[in-house]
């Protein structure tokens, strides 16, 4: 009998027998040279590109929910009907083909031109479309908002003011493949330069906003230049917490937030044999993994007893620690850095470590000073309602800065996740145009350490029980964080489909 796993994918031009495709089922095949996913939903058949437009994730291993398919890697969501990228992190559509049914056979015919997303459904009573929009911030939330405004047909002036010196970048990559040397420079910009001109997005770089005036509806740069707005999005993200290490010289100390920061570390690493990473946070540990891939000796210094314990619990913490130790990282836990001398750093227990350079990954702080000074309501972040509106009229906030009422946990939460920032930018954009759409996405993040990726859905700041199904050491497991009978969050390793299923259940779509 032929082994189905080794069978060539079916050519959908030749037809596919529907008896082999149950309702709700999907099958991977080909059309000409392209990989195509054929999906059956009731009487309807859909054919879409099989690779996610974010990082090329295999949609055939994803989850079909209604008329959408979700990517197993970072949970992007595409319309099966139009191919549109409905939810970040993917921003570009997948291709769509027309499917014809002849008797019990489905034939995939010609590729279809993707229809424009079309204007948002405006809720009754919403104010008129904004005469102009200003976005402060050129990160995940800011770009996703600008993209969505244009995608949904907003024609007015649209300005993005970014303190960065590079156009919006793939920030998560900066501590992973780019830092490890396996991603090139041109992978990092989220959009090519032409995108901004074609969409008439006035992207202004090196433009740090110094203040804004909610009454006068204007923002002012540090240079004094003033921009008027009719609607404003604050998406200023977060900034690394700075730490003074007595005796360390400035040129020895690095932080990682921007493309420029990552390039600086790459350049320094090329000349170095040893690095001390201060902080066993996600970013600190990803930096450790990437610098090990460059063959540098890595010491991680952190005050906690296990890395990531506060966020993911002791079991995951121990697993992550072992994983890094297997790759040669040396941990100094329960320690902080006492002082440096330009070549070494001395820990609080007196241990001296060689440190050609030091990377500080000791957390971030939301960039909320502007909002605070402008009198917006602050709640350990910028307080927003379910529509991502701040306390000031026509001002929205999204991404790392925003604390919102999360319907799943019942708490007001603020998270620092790439996918959440992109999705909030998209929702804020639609709400600027009158959609009145609640932000109710289940938080999701991922983190990558060597060949292990952890996916995490939900939000658990405190739990009373952790259940582990499978084995962390076998790199095949689901870790569930519970309070009482409620599942707050689920972390998975090598169980991407389960992560999507948990997301769907948490959304209340059973």
For residue 143, the minimal CB distance to ligand FES (Å) is 15
For residue 491, the minimal CB distance to ligand FAD (Å) is 13
For residue 59, the minimal CB distance to ligand FES (Å) is 8
- By C-beta, is 296 or 397 nearer to ligand FAD? 397
| Strands in 61-171 per DSSP E | 63-65, 68-70, 77-79, 85-87, 96-102, 105-112, 133-136, 158-161
- By C-beta, is 114 or 205 nearer to ligand FES? 114
Structure tokens at 106: 């489905």
Q: How many CB atoms lie within 10 A of CB 350?
A: 7
* Dihedral over Cα of 382, 144, 58, 49: its sign: positive
For residue 55, the minimal CB distance to ligand FAD (Å) is 11
What radius of gyration do the chain's Cα atoms show?
24
Contact of residue 421 among ligand FES, ligand FAD, none (CB under 5-8 Å per partner type): ligand FAD
* Dihedral over Cα of 254, 255, 256, 257: its sign: negative
Tell me which residues in 441-480 interact with ligand FAD (CB under 6 A). Answer: 445-447
- Binding to ligand FAD by residue 416, rule CB under 6 A? yes
280-319 burial: b if 16+ Cβ within 10 Å, else e: bbbbbbbbbbbbbbbebbbbbbbeeebbbbebbbebbbbb
Contact of residue 52 among ligand FAD, ligand FES, none (CB under 5-8 Å per partner type): ligand FES
Element (H, E) at 430: helix 418-432
For residue 369, the minimal CB distance to ligand FAD (Å) is 8
- Binding to ligand FAD by residue 161, rule CB under 6 A? yes
User: Of the listed pieces 22-30, 127-135, 439-447, 490-498, which binds ligand FAD according to CB under 6 A?
Assistant: 439-447
- Binding to ligand FAD by residue 209, rule CB under 6 A? yes
User: Of the listed pieces 23-31, 91-99, 440-448, 480-488, which binds ligand FAD according to CB under 6 A?
Assistant: 440-448
Tell me which residues in 38-57 interact with ligand FES (CB under 6 A). Answer: 52, 54-55, 57
Is 236 in a helix, a strand, or coil? coil
User: Of the listed pieces 132-140, 181-189, 317-325, 435-443, which binds ligand FAD according to CB under 6 A?
Assistant: 132-140
Q: HSE, CB side, 13 Å, CA atoms: give it for residue 278.
A: 28
Contact of residue 140 among ligand FAD, ligand FES, none (CB under 5-8 Å per partner type): ligand FAD
User: Of the listed pieces 59-67, 148-156, 236-244, 491-499, which binds ligand FAD according to CB under 6 A?
Assistant: 236-244
For residue 151, the minimal CB distance to ligand FES (Å) is 18
Cα–Cα distance, 280 to 236 (Å, whole number): 25
Q: How many CB atoms lie within 10 A of CB 60?
A: 19
- Binding to ligand FES by residue 422, rule CB under 6 A? no
DSSP 401: G
Residue 374 near residue 392, CB atoms below 8 Å: yes
Cα–Cα distance, 291 to 354 (Å, whole number): 15
Cα 416 to the center of its chain, rounded Å = 9
- Mask 74-113, x = binds ligand FES (CB under 6 A)? x-x------------xx-----------------------
Contact of residue 54 among ligand FES, ligand FAD, none (CB under 5-8 Å per partner type): ligand FES
In degrees rounded to 5, what are phi and psi of residue 196? -70, -40
Residue 71 near residue 52, CB atoms below 8 Å: yes
For residue 367, the minimal CB distance to ligand FAD (Å) is 5
- Binding to ligand FAD by residue 164, rule CB under 6 A? yes
# residues near ligand FES by CB under 6 A: 10
Tell me which residues in 330-369 interact with ligand FAD (CB under 6 A). Answer: 367
Residue 397 near residue 151, CB atoms below 8 Å: no
Residue 381 near residue 402, CB atoms below 8 Å: yes
Binding-site ranges for ligand FES (CB under 6 A): 52, 54-55, 57, 71, 73-74, 76, 89-90
Binding-site ranges for ligand FAD (CB under 6 A): 136-142, 161-164, 171-172, 174-175, 207-209, 235-238, 256-257, 283, 367, 370, 399-400, 416-419, 421, 445-447
């Amino acid at each position: 009998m032929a082994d189905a796993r080794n069978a060539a994918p079916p050519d959908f031009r030749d037809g596919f027998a529907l008896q082999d495709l149950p309702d709700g089922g999907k099958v991977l095949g080909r059309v000409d040279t392209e990989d195509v996913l054929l999906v059956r939903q009731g009487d309807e058949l859909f054919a879409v590109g099989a690779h996610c437009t974010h990082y090329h994730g295999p949609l055939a291993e994803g989850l079909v929910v209604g008329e959408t398919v979700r990517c197993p890697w970072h949970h992007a969501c595409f319309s099966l009907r139009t191919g549109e990228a409905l939810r970040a992190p993917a921003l570009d559509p997948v291709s769509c083909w027309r499917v014809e049914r002849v008797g019990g056979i489905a034939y995939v015919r010609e590729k279809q031109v993707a229809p424009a997303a079309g204007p948002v459904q405006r809720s009754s009573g919403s104010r008129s479309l904004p005469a102009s929009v200003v976005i402060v911030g050129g990160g995940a939330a800011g770009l996703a908002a600008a993209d969505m405004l244009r995608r949904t047909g907003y024609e007015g002036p649209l300005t993005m003011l970014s303190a960065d010196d590079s156009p919006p970048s793939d920030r998560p990559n900066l501590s992973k493949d780019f830092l490890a040397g396996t991603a090139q420079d041109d992978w990092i910009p989220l959009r090519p330069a032409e995108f901004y001109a074609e969409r008439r997005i006035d992207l202004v770089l090196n433009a740090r906003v110094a203040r804004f005036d909610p009454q006068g509806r204007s923002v002012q740069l540090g240079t004094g230049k003033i921009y008027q707005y009719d609607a404003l999005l604050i998406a200023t993200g977060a900034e690394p917490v700075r730490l003074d290490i007595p005796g360390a010289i400035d040129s020895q100390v690095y932080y990682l937030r921007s493309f420029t920061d990552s390039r600086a570390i790459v350049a320094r690493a090329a000349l170095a044999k040893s690095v001390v990473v201060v902080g066993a946070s996600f970013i600190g540990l990803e930096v450790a993994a990437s610098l090990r891939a460059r063959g540098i000796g890595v010491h991680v210094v952190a005050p906690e007893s296990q890395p990531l314990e506060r966020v993911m619990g002791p079991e995951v913490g121990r697993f992550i620690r072992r994983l890094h130790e297997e790759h040669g990282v040396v941990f100094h836990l329960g320690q902080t850095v006492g002082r440096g001398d330009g070549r070494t750093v001395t820990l609080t227990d007196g241990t001296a470590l060689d440190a050609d350079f030091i990377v500080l990954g000791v957390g971030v702080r939301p960039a909320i000073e502007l909002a605070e000074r402008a009198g917006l309501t602050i709640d350990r972040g910028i307080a927003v309602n379910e529509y991502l509106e701040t306390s000031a009229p026509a001002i929205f906030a999204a991404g790392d800065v925003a604390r919102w009422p999360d319907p799943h946990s019942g708490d007001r939460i603020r998270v620092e996740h790439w996918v959440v920032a992109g999705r909030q930018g998209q929702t804020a954009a639609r709400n600027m145009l009158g959609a009145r759409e609640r932000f109710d996405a289940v938080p999701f993040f991922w983190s990558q350490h060597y060949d292990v990726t952890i996916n995490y859905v939900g939000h658990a700041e405190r739990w009373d029980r952790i259940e582990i199904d499978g084995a962390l050491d076998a790199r095949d497991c689901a870790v569930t964080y519970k309070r009482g009978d409620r599942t707050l969050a689920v972390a998975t390793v090598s169980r991407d489909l389960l992560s999507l299923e948990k997301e769907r259940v948490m959304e209340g779509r059973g």
